[in-house]
Amino acid sequence: MKTIGAAKFKEQCLALLDGLDPEGIVVTKHGRPVARVVPYPRRGSALVGCLRDKIQVRGDLTSTGVAWGAAGAQP
């Protein structure tokens, strides 16, 4: 696991985050570990479509299932 001092981490933070490997980085202050930076786990690339193949649609989505009787009504 890569170790880096806090001052150097502060200087290079954005570049380090861009190149972060799955193991992460340990940030130290005065030689003692104070934080571990690891990538956030990704389940999918986007929220849209993340439940695909996990739900099942039963019935008609456009109907309430209740008959109105309005189609044949006379004023």
Structure tokens at 45: 């690339």
Stretch 2-7: mean pLDDT, rounded?
Answer: 96
pLDDT band at residue 71 using 50, 70 and 90 as cut-offs: low
Break the chain into its structural domains and give their ranges.
2-37
Q: What's the pLDDT tens digit per position in 22-68?
A: 999 999 999 999 999 999 877 656 677 777 788 887 888 887 778 77
The dihedral region occupied by 30, where left means phi > 0, alpha psi between -120 and 50, and beta the remainder, is: left
Q: What pLDDT, on a 0 to 100 scale, did the predictor assign at position 73?
A: 58
The pLDDT score that the predictor gives to residue 75 is 56
Mean pLDDT of 1-25: 94
pLDDT given at position 13: 95
The three-state secondary structure class of 28 is strand
